[in-house]
Amino acid sequence: MSTSPHPHGTPSTAEDRSRVHHGIVIVGGGTAGITVAARLRRAGAPDVAVLEPSGTHWYQPLWTLVGGGQAPLRASLRTEAEVMPDGVHWLRESAVSVDPATRTVGTASGRTVSYDRLVLAPGLRLDPDGVPGLAQALGHDGVTSNYLPELAPLTWELIRDMKSGTAVFTMPTGPVKCGGAPQKIAYLAADHWRKRGVLDRIRVVLVLPDTAMFKVPEFGRVLEDVALRYGIDVRLRSEMVSVDGAAREAVIVNHATGDKETISYDLLHAVPPQAAPEWIAGGPLADPDSPFGYVKADPATLQHPDHPEVFALGDVANLPTSKTGAAVRKQAPVVVANLRDSLRGRPLRARYDGYTSCPLVTARHKMLLAEFDYELKPAPSVPFVDTAKERTDMWFLKRYGLPQFYWHGMLKGLA
């Protein structure tokens, strides 16, 4: 797809060719960006552009199952062209700056894209350099991460081949996408080893920075029982602060006491620290209260409080809720409704209540569905089903139902 034509015909100068204007510019062609773009087109928005450099679109929630040997990586993949809504101008470039004063976005090629309204949905960035030694160790010497698609198959290979030793699963401080993923793979690995009769020969260490296994007590208690069932050594208020890949050693700090321990591992599943893209974190739209540089946004309207022509959703928005695709599903219609009201000069009426959900896989065919809002109150959406219990039907929902819902519902602007 190409950009819209120049308003005065074919550009005649290099300066003209380097500038383009669209009514609504969406930065990011991932879950949030495509869902908003599709909804805007269905609502009749005439001039929508998506800035997205990648030709690949991933359904990232499936990567945990890839790492657990329950799904092929190819099932999580589509081309970006397949998911780009009809009638949307795809600007296949990276955003590198934003100037809300002039309502412009700068791109890596030097182009300037101006807008009437801006939607920020570029996702977040992984920062393996935030843990000394991790960037160098990933993909080698028993170190893997389901947060990188090229390494998710390696996770399964390492789990499948392990018969004894120490397996360490870590989570960093700060918001991460799908906050349950760091521990889901530990449960899948332990369940596999239990079924193979080798779990009693494997020490499983789960390192979590929080004070509880899950911030919603109703689900945290279930996960405590799951960890106990597998004999997992859970380290709360703890974090991996360095890795020596060649020596296969990880240093874990206990934030409660300040004590450090060096653990020798045979398998290390590490979740890299995560933060906003650097051009966001260092720009004028970042929330000064966010140490990770996420975009400032009203928790209810998702509008930037200081720049009302800007909206943010998805992983990049600094909202007090978990960063999940389920959150995006509830945020997208709010952004679209409020964008339309904003363009018409009306008060913003749509509200987001913080709903998010985290499918917590606890065994090969078992899952509980943690759904909650800003107040950390359970917000169940499946009638007559207790999703706080481990259930086989919930696992089938995650493996088969939710991907179809994603490709054919969310990304089409239908759900």
- Residue 90's pLDDT is what? 97
Across 62-81, average pLDDT = 97
Average pLDDT in the 115-125 region?
98
Under 8 Å between Cβ of 415 and 38: no
Instruction: Indicate the pLDDT class of residue 18, thresholds 50, 70 and 90.
Output: confident
- The beta-strand segments (E) located in 5-88 are 19-27, 48-51, 56-58, 77-79
Q: Is-contact 273 170, C-beta < 8 A?
A: no
Q: State yes or no: pLDDT of 17 exceeds 90.
A: no
Q: Is the pTM of this model over 0.75?
A: yes
Average pLDDT, stretch 57-80?
Answer: 97
Segment 87-111 shows an average pLDDT of 97
- How far apart CA 166 and CA 168 sit, in angstroms, is 7
How confident is the model at residue 9, as a pLDDT? 30
Annotated active-site positions, please?
Answer: 178, 358
Partner residues linked to 243 by β-bridges: 250
Q: Compute the average pLDDT of residues 49-73.
A: 97
Decide: residue 408, CB within 10 A, 0-12 exposed, 13-18 middle, 19+ buried. Answer: exposed
Rounded mean pLDDT, 56-69: 97
Confidence class of residue 14 from pLDDT cuts 50, 70 and 90?
A: very low
Backbone angles phi, psi at 252, to 5 degrees: -110, 130
The dotted CATH code for 128-273 is 3.50.50.60
Tokens of 173: 């401080």
Contact 293, 285 (CB under 8 A): no
User: Which three-class secondary structure state does DSSP give residue 183?
Assistant: helix
CA distances to 59, 362, 387, 395, 398 from 366, rounded to whole Å, are 21, 6, 11, 5, 10
Helix (H, G, I), strand (E, B) or coil at 342: helix
The domain defined by 14-124+276-355 carries CATH number 3.50.50.60: yes
For residues 319 and 301, give the distance between their C-alpha atoms in angstroms, rounded to a whole number: 11
Instruction: Transcribe 245-302 into DSSP letters.
Output: TTTTEEEEEETTT--EEEEE-SEEE----EE--HHHHTSTTB-TT-TT-PBP--TTT-
Q: What is the mean pLDDT of residues 196-217?
A: 96
Tokens of 122: 């570029």
Give the pLDDT confidence score for residue 6 in this predicted structure: 31
Per-residue pLDDT, 390: 93
Q: HSE of 341 in the Cβ direction (CA atoms, 13 Å)?
A: 17
Q: Which of 31-45, 59-73, 109-123, 370-384 has the lowest mean pLDDT?
A: 370-384
Average pLDDT of the chain is 94
| Range 269-286 average pLDDT | 97
Tell me the pLDDT tens digit for each residue of 157-177. Answer: 999 999 999 999 999 999 999
Token duo for residue 199: 């779990």
pLDDT, position 118: 98
* CA pseudo-torsion sign 167, 368, 356, 413: positive
For 358-383, the three-class secondary structure string (H helix, E strand, C coil) is EEEEEECCEEEEEEECCCCCECCCCC
CATH 3.50.50.60-classified regions of the chain: 14-124+276-355, 128-273
Residues of the chain with pLDDT > 70, as a percent, come to 96
